[in-house]
Structure 1
C-alpha cells in the first residue's frame, strides 16, 4: 500500500488543484463528479483530474489516503477539502473561491 500512497502524494503535491473523479472533465461518469467539475470550471482554476475508473489501485488507495470513503475528492495545494457536497457548500458560501484566491491557485487558460 505504501507504493500507492507515494504515488498519490506525488500527484497531490505536484498540482495546485487535483480532482479525483469518476470519468474525465469532458465525460464525467457520475453526477457528483459532474457537479465537482462544474464548480471548478466556474471558479476558473487550472486543475488536474484523475479518473479513478481507469485504475483500481488509485480508486481504493485514495479512499485510504484521504480517510474519506467517497469519490470525487478535491485537493488544493496538498490539502484535502472533501467531496462534491462540501465543494458545493463552500462554493455557495463564497468560501471556495476565496480559498482558491488566498492560496494563489493557477488560473485556467
Structure 2
C-alpha cells in the first residue's frame, strides 16, 4: 500500500462519517459536493470532511482507494457508500438514514 493509500485508510477509519469533497462544508466548490453536504446536514449527521482540492495526492488516491472515479465520496464506519447521486437516491428512499442507524450513527432527523 502506498503512503497516500495508508493516509486515506487512516482518515476513513478515524471517522464515523467522512465525506471526501471539493471544498469545505461552509464553502463547497462543486454542486455535487454541495448536494452531499445538504443531505448530511438535513439528516443532522455529525460528519468530518476532507477537501481534496488541498491535496492532489489524496484527490487522485481516493479514486483508487474506493475504485470510484468521482468526488464526493461518502464513507460510514469505514465502508464506502457512494457519491452524490447514490447518496441522493439512498436519502430519498430512506436507505441512507437506515444505513446510518444500522451502523450506530445517531441522526436527529
Partner of residue 91, structure 1:
91
The alignment's TM-score, normalised by the length of structure 1, stands at: 0.95
What is the alpha-carbon distance in structure 2 between the residues aligned to residue 32 and residue 14 of structure 1?
24
Partner of residue 44, structure 2:
44
Listed as ranges, the gaps of 5+ residues in structure 1 are none
Contact 2:20 2:49 in 1 (8 A): yes
What is the alpha-carbon distance in structure 2 between the residues aligned to residue 5 and residue 74 of structure 1?
16
Residues 43 and 72 of structure 1: CA distance in aligned 2, closer, same or farther (over 3 Å): same
Residues 106 and 15 of structure 1: CA distance in aligned 2, closer, same or farther (over 3 Å): farther
What is the alpha-carbon distance in structure 2 between the residues aligned to residue 10 and residue 30 of structure 1?
25
Secondary structure of residue in 1 paired with 2:60: helix
Partner of residue 75, structure 2:
75
Listed as ranges, the gaps of 5+ residues in structure 2 are none
Q: CA deviation at 1:105?
A: 1.2
Q: CA deviation at 1:107?
A: 4.9
The alignment's TM-score, normalised by the length of structure 2, stands at: 0.95
Say what the alpha-carbon RMSD is for the aligned residues. Answer: 1.2
What is the alpha-carbon distance in structure 2 between the residues aligned to residue 39 and residue 100 of structure 1?
13
**Aligned pairs (5 A) from 1:16-31:** 16-31=16-31
Q: Which runs of 4+ in 1 moved over 3 A?
A: none
Contact 1:16 1:106 in 2 (8 A): no
